[in-house]
Amino acid sequence: MRQSALTHACESSRAKSGSVRSFLSFAAATGLVLLVLAVLAPSTAIAQLAGNGAISGTVTDPTGAVISNATITVVAVDTNQTTVRQTTSAGDYNVTPLPPGNYTVTVKAPGFESFVQQNVTVNALETFALNIKMTVGAAGQTITVSALPPNLTTTDSTLGGAMENVMY
């Protein structure tokens, strides 16, 4: 009986040793994966800090119906770099990536006057919302808007305001 208990204890010790080895192998593999991720993560963060912005919105007619396949042309004022996009079947467009700077946005669609929006400022890591209402008319006519209404932040629900530190 004593030998049987000793044999059982040795087998139990071997089983525990095998499970400890497999745990250590798993821990080493997990540590290696985390080390690789830690090395790669800073380059992703740097790319985000020096990020680009975007201009997006919806193109509609005077009744509010969407205009599909309108041509959106975005020109950087400083570099004269041009980016062209088409609106979707839902009238939406998204022009990205755009380096931070000032842009002129031109929209053209058959049966509508051309629309030009100047002084659009794109900031890094932000999307400038520009919804455009086209006017029915000849394609040779152009409506140019040089001033912008204040840009509303529609991507988050943060409220601004001053808070006073007063004890009650």
Token pair of 58 as six digits: 């919806």
Question: Residue 3 in 3-state DSSP?
Answer: helix
pTM score over 0.85: no
Q: Which residue has the higher pLDDT, 165 or 22?
A: 22
Tell me how far apart the alpha carbons of residues 14 and 6 are, in angstroms, rounded to a whole number: 12
Instruction: List C-alpha distances in Å: 6 to 12, 14, 18, 149, 165.
Output: 10, 12, 18, 86, 72
Digit-coded pLDDT (tens) for 1-53: 555 554 554 455 555 556 666 766 776 667 665 554 555 555 444 444 468 99
- How close are the terminal C-alpha atoms of the chain, in Å? 78
Alpha-carbon dihedral angle through residues 159, 160, 165, 168, given to the nearest 10 degrees: -40
Residue 78 has pLDDT above 90, yes or no: yes
Token pair 């309108």 is at which residue? 70
Residue 145 has pLDDT above 70, yes or no: no
